[in-house]
Amino acid sequence: MASLFHIPNEVFYSITSLLPNRDIKNLRLTCTRLSSHELRLDRVFLSPHPRDIEIFMCIASHDSYRGRIVELIYDDARFRRRVAHRSIGYDLDEDDPLDTHPAISPDRVIDGVPEWFICAYDDIQGDLEREPGRYITRPDHVEVAKQLESRLSIAQSYSQYQRIVDEQNETIAISADSRALQYGLKQFPCLRKVTLTAVAHGLTFRPKYETPFIRSLPYGFIYPIPRGWPESRGVLPFAVTTKAWDADGVKEKWRGLRVLLRALVTHSHSVTEFVVDVNQILTGISLRIFDNPNEEYEDLVSLVRRPNFSRFDLALFAGDPEQVNWPSYRNGLLYNMFMEAKDVQHVRLTTDLDPPEDIKMPAPYGTDGSEYFLPLRSLFPVHQWTQLRHFGLARFIVKQDDLTSFLADMPPTLRSVELSFLSFIRIGGGSYLGLLLDMREKLKWHERHTSERPKLTIFVDIDPPLFGRYVDISTEAEAVVYKNGKTPFADQDYPELDSGNSVYRDLEVGIERNMFNSADDCPFAEDDTLVKLGVYTEFDWPHPKPYLKNL
């Protein structure tokens, strides 16, 4: 310790600046001199769980820490009294009678644990046992293996789960999180960003956000990961159909949204950014909120209308397009809301849209898709956004010409663009390949100074789809637009179906990413290449790699 204290202060603080808060907490326990070393806090978490509220209130009441908070993250992932296990593939509401569910017996209980929880536990445990697959063993695999070896029993996990549900529901009943939020808005003078998410729990043993509540969960606790909001399963033969926003019980599914909006429009604060974070999961706020004017819609308008409001990331859940046909996009309420955001600098819209089959089919079997097509200018008043620096669009049905001309109208302040998971209408709709060529030839962004060229972000789905995985071709897209580089999209295989929109492993372009585990990121390439790169072990597929039994 004597040698540690002889290190110059600037070196010591440079070292501790690299430590996570959990390590700083341990450092503070070593001696009295280090006990006052302050944590690095710039964001707080809130949810309907007592532990999150307790820590939130402590920070909000701390004279030093409260002045550093710039972001508030609200976790809206609600634990349900019972849920469908993942292999079934769709939501089971708490009010649904169990005997209507095709895979759950209403009376089967084993050692006090109902069948639905046993199914979920077994599914998760099986996934964890198979998780490393062919990957070379990494530190994150070791940590997951340790938790799996120390896992709670089914009975212990079920008991913990029910306790969490009870505490959550008691908190909601007395609106403790809402009152804490109102207090926090007064106490955080530098609060700038509010993030609403339903994916904080990420994957088992790998949360996206390590909230105080999630950190307090028992080591090795296996439970059905809560998402909170309805989720579309695009690879299954059915889709979730949304109900009207004002139908009984519907808006309560998005309770966190309602709590945040009410507080933000009725209390003084310095918030200028509002983000709905779904991390590529097919979920979001119900599109039906834009059916008719309602309290929540009016609150959204009031929020984006505030002076200096600069960022709005909106994720929308549309459900089954063939049943809904998105009248909520067409009635002008979404456009009118964006019109009020006159000072906005960052706009991103993502949806859960899975294009109907009839616009994917080649001529003469498909349709022109006109009944599904939405001109981008009917949704985004780009002429109003004179300070726009970022525009993002994900999982939307587009036409190449419409998108190109829309981008041409962007103000010169634009510095980044995301165009991810787009679906081009098959008949006359163009393609990703055509879009990149148009951006090079028509927009002529390559003629701008390098500091003024918009950075491109493009993610595309893997074909066939793999849950949680996608291909990042941003680098290759920028090479096409700015350096006349080679296109990452295939235009020679299956031209009638895939021309200009698909990427294949044998092309070895892009990075395959895992939305909840960046350690899994690797080149999007054939197995042989990944073996040579040391990503995969060399063995006969499809036999899974034995799990780490001796850890």
Spatial separation of the C-alpha atoms in residues 551 and 393, rounded to whole Å = 44
Q: Of 3-12, 212-221, 353-362, which gets the smallest average pLDDT?
A: 353-362
- Which of the residue ranges 34-38, 116-120, 134-138, 453-457 would you say has the lowest mean pLDDT? 34-38
pLDDT at 491 (0 to 100):
63
Q: pLDDT at position 347, please?
A: 98
Helix locations, 449-535, DSSP H:
474-483, 495-498, 527-532
Q: How far is residue 422's CA from residue 496's CA, in Å, rounded to a whole number?
A: 18
The bridge status of strand 455-457 relative to strand 416-420 is parallel
CA count, 13 A, side-chain hemisphere, 312: 25
Is the CB of residue 265 less than 8 Å from the CB of residue 306? Answer: no
Average confidence (pLDDT) over 529-546: 71
The band of 18, judged by pLDDT with boundaries at 50, 70 and 90, is: confident
> What does the pLDDT read at residue 422?
93
Q: Could you tell me which residues come within 8 angstroms of residue 520 by beta carbon, excluding any fewer than 6 positions away?
A: 135, 469, 513, 514
Going across the sheet that includes 469-472, the strands are 459-461, 469-472, 511-514, 522-523
pLDDT band at 51 (very low <50, low <70, confident <90, very high): very high
How confident is the model over 202-230, as a mean pLDDT?
94
User: Does residue 220 sit in helix, strand or coil?
Assistant: coil
Q: Looking at this protein, which amino acid is placed at residue 463? A: D
Task: Give the tens place of pLDDT for each residue, 299-347.
Answer: 999 999 999 999 999 999 987 655 556 788 889 999 999 999 999 999 9
**Count of Cβ atoms closer than 10 Å to residue 512 Cβ:** 20
**pLDDT value at residue 399:** 93
Among 494, 493, 532, 490, smallest CA distance to 507 is for: 490
pLDDT exceeds cutoff 70 at 415: yes
Q: What is the mean pLDDT of residues 455-461?
A: 95
> What pLDDT score was predicted for residue 240?
53
Of 137-141, 327-331, 416-420, 545-549, where does mean pLDDT reach its minimum?
545-549
Q: What is the mean pLDDT of residues 441-463?
A: 94
pLDDT of 356: 65
The lowest-confidence range among 41-50, 185-194, 512-521 is 512-521
Long-range contacts of 254-257 (CB under 8 A, 24+ apart): 254/76, 254/229, 254/285, 254/286, 254/296, 255/48, 255/76, 255/78, 255/172, 256/47, 256/74, 256/75, 256/76, 256/196, 256/198, 256/228, 257/76, 257/196, 257/285, 257/296
The angle subtended at Cα 458 by Cα 452 and Cα 461, nearest 5°, is: 180
pLDDT-wise least confident of 42-56, 99-113, 252-266: 99-113
- Average pLDDT estimate for 342-360: 83
| pLDDT tens-digit map of 170-196 | 999 999 999 999 999 999 999 999 999
pLDDT at residue 278 greater than cutoff 80? yes
With a cut of 90, say whether residue 297 has pLDDT above it: yes
- The whole-model pTM stands at 0.88
Rounded percentage of the chain residues whose pLDDT exceeds 70: 83
Evaluate if residue 239 carries a pLDDT over 90.
Answer: no
Which phi and psi angles does 347 have, rounded to 5°?
Answer: -130, 130
Place of tokens 């599904």: 372
Instruction: Taking each helix axis as running N to C, give the angle between helix 154-173 and helix 176-187, from 0 to 180 degrees, rounded to the nearest 10.
Output: 70
Is a pLDDT exceeding 70 seen at residue 527? yes
- Please compute the mean of the pLDDT values over residues 431-458 and round it to a whole number: 94
Q: Please, which pLDDT band fits residue 87 given cuts at 50, 70 and 90?
A: very low
Mean of all residue pLDDT scores within the chain: 85
pLDDT band of 255, cuts 50, 70, 90 = very high
Residue 100 confidence (pLDDT) above 50: no
* CB distance 201 to 214 below 8 Å: yes
Q: How does residue 115 score in pLDDT terms, banded at 50, 70 and 90?
A: confident
Q: How many CB atoms lie under 10 A from the CB of residue 217?
A: 17
